[in-house]
Structure 1
Amino acid sequence: MIAFARRNRFAAKCIAVGAALAVVAAACLIQLAGVQLLTGQATAQAATRSRTYTRTVSAQRGRILDTNGNVLAQSVERYDVIGDPLTISTFEPVDCGTTEAKTLGYCHAIDDQPVGVTGAAAVARLLATVLDVNTMELGAQLDGTNRYTVIARDVTPEVKRRIDDLHLGGVVYCELTSERVYSTDNLIGALLGGVDDEGAGASGLEQSLNDTLTGTDGYVTYQQGNGGEVIPGTVTDSQDAVNGSDVTLTIDRDVDWYVKQVIQDGLEELKASWAIAVVQDVRTGEIIALEDTDDIEAGTDAAKMTVSRAVSETFEPGSIGKVITMAGLLQTGLHQATDQFTVPYSINKDGQEFHDATQHGSEHWTLAGILQNSSNVGMVMAAENYTNEQRYEFLTKFGVGQPTGLNLPGETNGLLSAAENWDGRTKDTVLFGQGYTVNALQLTNIVATIANRGVRQEQSLVKSTTDPDGHVTETEEGDGERVVDEDVAADVLNAMESVAEEYANVASVDGYRVASKTGTAEVAGADGSLTSIVCDWSGIIPADNPRFVVTVVVKDPQSARYGGLSAGPLFAKIGEFLMQKYEVPTSSPRTDAIPVDW
């Protein structure tokens, strides 16, 4: 009887357990049915999404080339090394000689010895054999639960291949990026500028040309395995990257290099503060060389924080400004180049005293002679009926106070106040290059306007652009703006050639006629008083068939403190090089000199 009761209780328990299992099985079947029939597609899609990865395909930044196709700046293939700390925490190295190593076809070892640790410490030890990193610091960096940490940036393809050979796929991988490199050393360093950490132009031409140089990134969408590898046949979408366009400059690297050497040597010889030089093609307005004596390499922090002195430094042009005055006097019909003047050393006009740079008696000079002898007094006398409005008009027509159109970062327009704001002295000092400021590019184009028969060309630094498909777009040359008549420009150039003849012993170029104007201006020193000087020379070569204008500006030379004696010899060295490089025919003898005295 007791046994029968025990059997009944056991049977009841079995039935209860069976019923419970049946309920569980029914629930599983219902859930399975629900997954299959109701949520199966959503679950599969979720699983696919978790494996789907969209990788950016970086576009290559365009190159910057010189006029002859020499590469000045380019982006090269580099990689960022990325770690996945969460996955790294589970990393176990494969010892060499084991069955697992034979199956996988690789193993992990350091100097043929087992790694000896696991996780972040193991990965750090392995990477330290390739990267110049502290093993313990890297191990600490990789010890975490995040999924993305940058281990190293901009490693070379060779280093990337060595990392691949460590067989750390799934825990460490390399992302394609690029590094901007420059081949110019300190040539036009600040002018080229540099890029920021994201590869965008941060300064100089890299910044001003950024839209042209920058490409459009592409992408590829695929499913990846546990090791981060692409699952074959799972690429669902992609877009090719479009690289940026190449930019060819008007700069000739060989000329620029020579110009740099000349002004650096001159800086040392003259014991000056700095020097600037510009070479411009008269016919096209193209800038062939644009240099200063600052020692800045493109792409460096200094290049990113410094504006090119050649475009940012402004100064009073001094007596080179007399070129504008003579051109204006001739163009308005107030004078001819042969008009005669008796010019004393000093003059008092409206209570203002004006004098020349050196003592002299009353000289019999023509207007051409006033320019040749760089007489301040003569210019004030000749401009007796030259109104303030006319003075301002021709200054602006020649580009004073006006943008060059190059749109360079840090470029300044100089200072030129309106005529109605001139005081009793400034209205006359502007006649001889004081009371306003220019940069070296503006000064060069003033003289180039005379060399170009009175037409002011728009200056250019970009010769052409080449898109990723190889299509070349040349920079269009503007028609230029006529500032003075051709015969006026010819007379001013003629007088400038007489100026150059005065300096034939220090600034001549054998076989070639030169037309030039010198300048020396007092400028504010560190204490704000007029304790510094700027010496400049801007010359046309050859004078009989103008090809180039060369401008040299020197700040505070300790010897030869006049433009003709300091900047002039540097011009001559540059001019001689240009004539030889471009095989310019020698000049014919001068036979049409305008009289300079009477």
Structure 2
Amino acid sequence: MVLRLGSPRRRINFGLIGMTFILSIFAGRLIQMQGLDSKVYEAAAADQRQHTETIPAKRGSITDVNGHDLAVTVEAREVSIDPTKVPADVRAKAAAILAQQLGKNEQEIAAKLAKTGTHYQLLARDVDPVVATRLLQGPVPALSAKKTYKRLYPAGELAGSLIGFVGDEGNGLGGMEQARNSLLAGRDGEQRVETGRDGQRIPMTSSQRTAPVDGQDVRLTIDRDIQWAAQKSIGEQVRKSEADSGTVIVMDVRTSQIVAMANAPELDLNNWRKAPESRYSNKAAADVFEPGSTNKVITAAAALEAKAVTPDTVYQVPDRIRCADQVLRDAHAHKVEALTFRQAMAQSSNVATVMAARKVGSQKLYEMLKAFGFGSTPGGGVPSAEAGLLPDYRKWSGSQSCTVAYGQGVSVTALQMASVYQTIANGGVRIEPQIVAGTTDASGRFVPAPAGKQTRVVSETTAKEIATMLESAVGEEGTGQLAAIDGYRVAGKTGTANRYDAELGRYEGYTASFVGFAPADDPRLVVLSVVQNPKNGHFGGELAAPVFKDVMTFAIKSKKIPPTGSAAPTVRTRAGQ
């Protein structure tokens, strides 16, 4: 048989028609991709290749008033790895090397290397550039090191809670670091680059770069040496008296600049993560307490301004006085005795202070407390500064209308009380406390901070009369004898107040304090010391006055403030003289 085959022309025609159809689809698709939608696919390809990298700005420094570094920023590296490119048989050795070099836990590193479902694992921040370079040149594969910065605190715990610290994201989390974060942080830059599948930059490709703007430096009014002396003295007294905490503030009388602001115990900034949260707070500005007898100068100011008393006004003073349903007592029992108002202040008589306050009245006393800054935030840029508690006089209880006169029933911060004595020492003119001396502008030029707002609170005559009364309080008959400094005239006041414990919901323990200024006749510095809840002793004259003496002695020597050479004026201290 002869097998006849059909004509191939038909099959070829069908094949050509099919191929033409398929090719037309491809051609249409190419026209769509390269013509109609070319921009869309070009943009998508560019997005795959292009990556935006953040260029971190260098954080500004924080220095003391003389330019000594308290917080600085240095270059560092952020080390990461691509676990998918680390062979299983070398992971254990790689984990050991990385843990040893980075100071990390080996099991933690091994767990990150085992996460092969991701191309990125952060191994460590704040790595020294030398260490990072050594690792990149070592046997561990797929490592990357990104340039960053880390914060260092050369002075450790010096003014720790005042300065504050910076978190992992580069933002200030406390103190000046937080309060001036936007100024210190600057503004990060960015760079867009094209990379291949392996993450390496493609040579000769375009890039766009926005340069970072480095942060500005902040210069504080703090003097490093005086700050050290203040922390040392209050720290020793807190340990010796077994107190909960303590505070010292040194303030320039003429400018209200804070020369030292010390707390004990203090925060070590190089180990802030391990510190209890109670140390994060700048207690000198944030903690409120009832001031006790240091508050009597305000009652004296109100009485003198109202012409209700003079320093020589004589009172017949018993050791107790009834006020509403309460009987208020002096610190020591005594018979009725004739005391001048000056002598009553020197001996810190509660009863005599209440007698003077009654001549003034609650409203005028309240207005004087407000004028001295009670119940309002001090301002001036001090981080975490609180307003304290000053109830409206119309809400005072019967006994409170008396106790406020000698500092119970009203709450203040150490900063507020230091400001009161700055006002008296400055001739009755209150200046808003200052903690920032100035900043650097974009060109690195120092720009001084504006002076604090000035407000006259009492007359110069009243201020001088109170100053002589405070000088008597440090004299032989005063409660502040341990604050006296050889060769210098010193004015000051002790304070011993019952301490309200918020956790217990009752009064428990004491607040011992002393605040004063020197030289008394030409005031330059105010020093305030506060000891909270001491267990060994509790009087301000025995616990806080010696701290005042230590710190003031160091400060006047450091500032080279000479004695005035004048003698204290002869004043009438006893009734009948």
TM-score by length of 1: 0.86
For 2:61, the equivalent position in structure 1 comes to 63
Offset at 1:292?
A: 1.7
Secondary structure at the counterpart of residue 201 of structure 1: coil
458-467 or 556-565, which moves further after superposition?
556-565
Structure 1 residue 204 corresponds to structure 2 residue 175: yes
Offset at 1:492?
A: 0.3
Offset at 1:532?
A: 0.7
For 1:77, the equivalent position in structure 2 comes to 75
> 2:571 & 2:169 partners in 1: Cα distance?
60
For 1:515, the equivalent position in structure 2 comes to 491
For 1:561, the equivalent position in structure 2 comes to 538
For 1:524, the equivalent position in structure 2 comes to 500
Structure 1 residue 542 corresponds to structure 2 residue 540: no
Aligned pairs for 1:287-436 within 5 A: 287-298=258-269, 300-301=272-273, 302=275, 306-348=280-322, 352-406=326-380, 408=382, 410-436=384-410
Please give the per-residue CA displacement for 1:50-84, whole angstroms capped at 9, x wherever unaligned. 22222111112222111111111122222222233
- The counterpart of 1:186, out of the listed 157, 176, 191, is 157
Q: Percent identity?
A: 33
CA 1:121–1:331: 2 relative to 1, 3 Å = same
Please give the per-residue CA displacement for 1:469-512, whole angstroms capped at 9, x wherever unaligned. 21332211134110000011000001100111136752221211
Please give the per-residue CA displacement for 1:117-169, whole angstroms capped at 9, x wherever unaligned. 57x77976875675456389537635424333223222211122123314878
> What letter matches 2:510 in structure 1?
I
> What letter matches 1:516 in structure 2?
G
Please give the per-residue CA displacement for 1:8-61, whole angstroms capped at 9, x wherever unaligned. 999999999899888878877776677665666655554343222221111122
> What letter matches 2:293 in structure 1?
S
CA 1:237–1:332: 2 relative to 1, 3 Å = same
Secondary structure at the counterpart of residue 387 of structure 2: coil
> 1:151 & 1:351 partners in 2: Cα distance?
68
Offset at 1:546?
A: 0.4
Q: Contact conserved, 1:297 with 1:303, CA < 8 A, in 2? A: no
For 1:141, the equivalent position in structure 2 comes to 113
Number of matched pairs: 568
Offset at 1:261?
A: 0.8
CA 1:39–1:559: 2 relative to 1, 3 Å = closer
For 1:495, the equivalent position in structure 2 comes to 469
Q: Contact conserved, 1:495 with 1:594, CA < 8 A, in 2? A: no
> What letter matches 1:422 in structure 2?
W
- The counterpart of 1:506, out of the listed 452, 465, 482, is 482
Q: Contact conserved, 2:489 with 2:568, CA < 8 A, in 1? A: no
583-592 or 256-265, which moves further after superposition?
583-592
Secondary structure at the counterpart of residue 450 of structure 2: coil
Q: Contact conserved, 2:374 with 2:412, CA < 8 A, in 1? A: yes
> 2:488 & 2:500 partners in 1: Cα distance?
37
Q: Contact conserved, 2:229 with 2:551, CA < 8 A, in 1? A: yes
Secondary structure at the counterpart of residue 446 of structure 1: helix
Q: Contact conserved, 1:123 with 1:139, CA < 8 A, in 2? A: no
CA 1:38–1:339: 2 relative to 1, 3 Å = closer
> What letter matches 1:56 in structure 2?
T
Offset at 1:560?
A: 4.2
- The counterpart of 1:163, out of the listed 120, 123, 135, is 135
Q: Contact conserved, 2:517 with 2:527, CA < 8 A, in 1? A: yes
> What letter matches 1:186 in structure 2?
E
Q: Contact conserved, 1:195 with 1:304, CA < 8 A, in 2? A: no
> 1:575 & 1:273 partners in 2: Cα distance?
23
Please give the per-residue CA displacement for 1:351-386, whole angstroms capped at 9, x wherever unaligned. 653332223333332221221121122222223321
> 2:75 & 2:26 partners in 1: Cα distance?
55
For 1:243, the equivalent position in structure 2 comes to 214
Please give the per-residue CA displacement for 1:240-286, whole angstroms capped at 9, x wherever unaligned. 11112211111112111111111111223333332211111111111
Structure 1 residue 281 corresponds to structure 2 residue 238: no
> 2:296 & 2:94 partners in 1: Cα distance?
73
Structure 1 residue 459 corresponds to structure 2 residue 436: no
* Structure 2 alignment gaps of length 5 or more: none
> 1:494 & 1:128 partners in 2: Cα distance?
67
> What letter matches 1:256 in structure 2?
Q
CA 1:468–1:147: 2 relative to 1, 3 Å = farther
> 1:341 & 1:129 partners in 2: Cα distance?
77
> What letter matches 1:534 in structure 2?
T
571-580 or 527-536, which moves further after superposition?
527-536
Offset at 1:416?
A: 1.5
Offset at 1:336?
A: 2.0
CA 1:121–1:492: 2 relative to 1, 3 Å = closer
Secondary structure at the counterpart of residue 588 of structure 1: coil
Offset at 1:591?
A: 4.5
CA 1:393–1:150: 2 relative to 1, 3 Å = same
368-377 or 180-189, which moves further after superposition?
180-189
- The counterpart of 1:470, out of the listed 444, 459, 469, is 444
RMSD: 3.1
CA 1:165–1:234: 2 relative to 1, 3 Å = same
Q: Contact conserved, 1:64 with 1:248, CA < 8 A, in 2? A: yes
CA 1:226–1:357: 2 relative to 1, 3 Å = same
CA 1:78–1:348: 2 relative to 1, 3 Å = same
Q: Contact conserved, 1:64 with 1:247, CA < 8 A, in 2? A: yes
> What letter matches 1:590 in structure 2?
A
Secondary structure at the counterpart of residue 358 of structure 2: coil
> 2:413 & 2:108 partners in 1: Cα distance?
55
> 1:427 & 1:166 partners in 2: Cα distance?
76
548-557 or 338-347, which moves further after superposition?
338-347
CA 1:590–1:148: 2 relative to 1, 3 Å = same
Offset at 1:396?
A: 1.1
> What letter matches 1:402 in structure 2?
S
CA 1:349–1:45: 2 relative to 1, 3 Å = closer
CA 1:367–1:163: 2 relative to 1, 3 Å = same
* Structure 1 alignment gaps of length 5 or more: 93-115
> 1:568 & 1:279 partners in 2: Cα distance?
14
